[in-house]
Chain A
Amino acid sequence: MTATAEKTDSTSEVGAVPTFTVTLRILRHDPEGLDGREAGAEYWEEFTVEAFATDRVLDALHTIKWEQDGSLAFRRSCAHGVCGSDAMRINAKNRLACKTLLKDLNPSRPITVEPIKGLPVEKDLIVDMEPFFASYREIMPFLMTTGPTPERERLQSPEERARFDDTTKCIMCAACTTACPVFWTDGQYFGPQAIVGAHRFIFDSRDEGEWDRLEVLNDKAGVWKCRTAFNCTEACPRGIEVTKAISEVKKALTSGEV
């Protein structure tokens, strides 16, 4: 919504952004048990809001929180698809609430909003991300080198950079990991995101820790748990070819070449 659009909105109908009514069906989780509920109760609650065609699911959640029910809990930070805080299951699919327009979701039917699956729910749409971050830490997501530090930057050709370009786009929103059917049933699995994070360093010509990471991923809970369901690739809000990255790690392990 631009400032000009808002101005014309208040003065005349010319150029006005059309509004519509939309119902959000939110899966809530009440850890404290308020209003006579049991502690930890889960229930669906419907909210109806007026929305603009330019509004995203996040705007509707804001409207609910600010005008209807302040107890609704969800994470968001930048609200523009960069920080990766507001991944949630919208109409049964993982997406970022800040990148999903309401008008693209068939607003004539209630839009379901649930927390991402496979991580413990803390309240409403907020999950405990710690198991997810723990997997990321396991693959050592930092530059590992040997020898003395060079006086100037470590050079790399555009071709060398292109090898891991795709996996540098990750914002760690967990949409991929919590879309993975293997992750839902097996909490031990590192999950797609950790493998994407490892891929970013394994195929970086400046890094020398690739075999340490590949060893971690060769584990029972590593890349071999991937069943190529492609839910991760389809869920990624950054368009990373997650399954392809996992496949490249598998190939490095089978061929012994990076």
Chain B
Amino acid sequence: MSPAPTLYRGREGMWMWLVHRTTGVAIFFFLLIHVLDTSLVRVSPEAYNEVIGAYKTPIYGLIEAGLVAAIVLHAFNGLRIIAVDRWTWALRHQRMLVWVVWGIFVVMMAAFLPRHLGHVFGGA
């Protein structure tokens, strides 16, 4: 028997490392699929249209919302990491910068989601 050890109680930095890695892997797989579906146009334009048409369904609409969320988080946390690597001030205030990243994320998603979801579910 081998009982589960506790989850290490790291702080903001550790969780943002996890967020960065998770969103990074998710974006990578999206790009992989995206390159494949775009390259379909060389094979058969009809097949391409059919695959691209699938993106208009509500399920893909929600996945797209997730994709934008992942990219916004990854982008702004990436800027935080660059700042932390470059300036001692940012290094010492990295925990506060984590909340700045989440703040920007909330603002951007608040601007994006109503419009996007309106398109997806409003049938515009």
Tell me the A residues contacting B by CB distance below 8 Å.
27, 38, 41-44, 89, 91-93, 112, 114, 117, 179, 181, 227-231, 234, 241, 243-244, 247, 250
Contacts and interface: CB of A to CB of B under 8 A. Distances in A.
Please provide the 10 A-B residue pairs with the shortest distance between their CB atoms, ordered closest to farther. Answer: A230-B13, A92-B9, A229-B17, A92-B6, A229-B14, A42-B2, A231-B10, A93-B9, A229-B13, A227-B17
A142 B55 CA distance: 61
Contacts of A91: 9
Contact of B8 (A27, A38, A227, A231): A231
A244 B3 contact: no
10 contacts: A27-B5, A41-B1, A43-B3, A93-B8, A228-B84, A230-B95, A234-B13, A243-B91, A247-B84, A250-B85
Interface of B: 1-3, 5-14, 16-18, 20, 81, 84-85, 88, 91-92, 94-95
A228 B81 contact: yes
Given A230-B11, A231-B8, A42 B1 contact: yes
Contacts of B81: 228
B6 A179 contact: no
| B interface majority secondary structure | helix
A247 B13 contact: no
Contacts of A27: 3, 5
Nearest to B3: A44
Contacts of B17: 181, 227-229
Contact of A181 (B14, B88, B91): B14
B104 to A, nearest CB: 19
B91 A92 contact: no
A215 B95 CA distance: 31
Given A42-B2, A181-B14, 7 more contacts: A27-B3, A117-B8, A181-B17, A228-B84, A229-B16, A243-B84, A244-B92
Contact of B10 (A114, A179, A228, A247): A179
B5 A117 contact: yes
B5 A247 contact: no
Contact of B7 (A42, A92, A229, A234): A92
Contacts of B7: 92
B123 to A, nearest CB: 43
Nearest to B12: A230
A209 to B, nearest CB: 25
A114 to B, nearest CB: 6
Contacts of A181: 8, 10, 14, 17-18
A193 B17 CA distance: 20
Contacts of B13: 228-231, 234
A68 to B, nearest CB: 20
Nearest to A91: B9
Contacts of A244: 88, 91-92
A92 B88 contact: no
Contacts of B5: 27, 89, 114, 117
Contacts of B88: 244, 247
Nearest to B94: A230
Contacts of B11: 230-231, 234
A247 B92 CA distance: 12
